[in-house]
C-alpha cells in the first residue's frame, strides 16, 4: 500500500467538506437546524454564550441594525404570542431570584436611567404636580398622587407596598395611610376631589 501523508489527507478531507457544503446548501441548512434544536446543540450554544458574552452581544447587535424589520417581526413573535407569554410567566415562577437579580443589574445601567426619565417626564406631562404639604419625613420619599393634580410625600418603602396599576386601585389602597399621616385632609373633600379632579379643601 502506497504511503499517504496524514497532513495531505486532512487537507483533502477539508476540501471535500467545502465542496459538499457548496453543492448542498439546503441539506446543510437542514442538518444545522436539526442540530441546533437538539439537546446537544442547545447545550453547546449555551456554553458558548456563557464563555463569549461580548461576541454574542456584538453579533446580535449588528444583526438587529442590519435587519430592523426582520428583528421587529421576530421580537413580536418571540415575546408577544400567547405561547411566549406562557413561557415567560412559567420562567418567572420557576426563577424569581434570577428575575430580581436581572432587574437590579438592569436598573443600574444608563439605559434604565434614560427609560425612567422618559417615563417620569411623560407622567408629569399628563398629571399635575401640586404639593399639598411640605415633606415631613427625614427618609427618602416618593410623591403620591391623591388625584390627577395633587401629591403628598410618602416614604419610599410605604409607597411601594401597593403596585401603581391600576391607578384607581393604587390610590384607594393608600387613602387610609394618607388620612393618618395628613389629618388636615377632610375625607369628604377627598371624595369630592377624586370625582371632580379638583384639589381638596384642607381643614
Grid coordinates given for 150? 395633587
Kindly tell me if the per-residue pLDDT of 126 is higher than 70. Answer: no
Kindly tell me if the per-residue pLDDT of 198 is higher than 60. Answer: no
Helix (H, G, I), strand (E, B) or coil at 65: helix
pTM of the entire predicted model: 0.38
For residues 157 and 56, what is the distance between their CA atoms, to the nearest angstrom?
A: 38
Are 130 and 151 spatial neighbours (Cβ–Cβ below 8 Å)? yes
User: Nearest CA to 164 among 143, 181, 179?
Assistant: 143
Quote the pLDDT of residue 201.
46
Query: Minimum mean pLDDT among 19-28, 97-106, 188-197: which range?
Result: 188-197
For residues 29 and 49, what is the distance between their CA atoms, to the nearest angstrom?
A: 21
Quick one: average pLDDT of 83-109? Answer: 83
Amino acid at each position: 500500500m502506497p504511503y499517504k501523508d496524514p497532513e495531505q489527507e486532512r487537507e483533502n478531507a477539508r476540501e471535500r467538506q467545502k465542496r459538499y457544503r457548496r453543492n448542498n446548501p439546503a441539506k446543510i441548512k437542514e442538518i444545522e437546524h436539526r442540530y441546533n434544536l437538539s439537546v446537544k446543540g442547545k447545550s453547546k450554544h449555551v456554553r458558548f454564550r456563557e464563555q463569549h458574552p461580548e461576541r454574542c452581544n456584538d453579533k446580535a447587535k449588528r444583526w438587529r441594525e442590519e435587519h430592523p424589520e426582520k428583528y421587529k417581526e421576530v421580537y413580536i413573535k418571540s415575546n408577544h404570542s400567547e405561547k411566549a407569554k406562557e413561557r415567560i410567566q412559567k420562567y418567572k415562577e420557576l426563577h424569581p431570584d434570577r428575575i430580581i437579580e436581572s432587574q437590579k443589574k438592569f436598573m443600574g445601567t444608563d439605559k434604565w436611567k434614560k427609560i425612567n426619565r422618559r417615563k417620569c417626564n411623560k407622567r408629569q406631562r399628563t398629571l399635575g404636580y401640586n404639593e399639598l404639604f411640605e415633606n415631613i419625613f427625614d427618609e427618602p420619599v416618593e410623591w403620591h398622587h391623591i388625584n390627577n393634580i395633587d401629591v403628598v410625600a410618602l416614604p419610599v418603602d410605604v409607597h411601594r407596598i401597593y403596585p401603581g396599576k391600576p391607578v384607581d386601585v393604587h390610590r384607594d389602597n393608600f387613602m387610609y395611610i394618607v388620612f393618618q399621616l395628613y389629618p388636615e385632609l377632610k375625607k369628604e373633600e377627598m371624595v369630592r376631589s377624586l370625582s371632580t379632579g379638583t384639589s381638596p379643601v384642607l381643614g
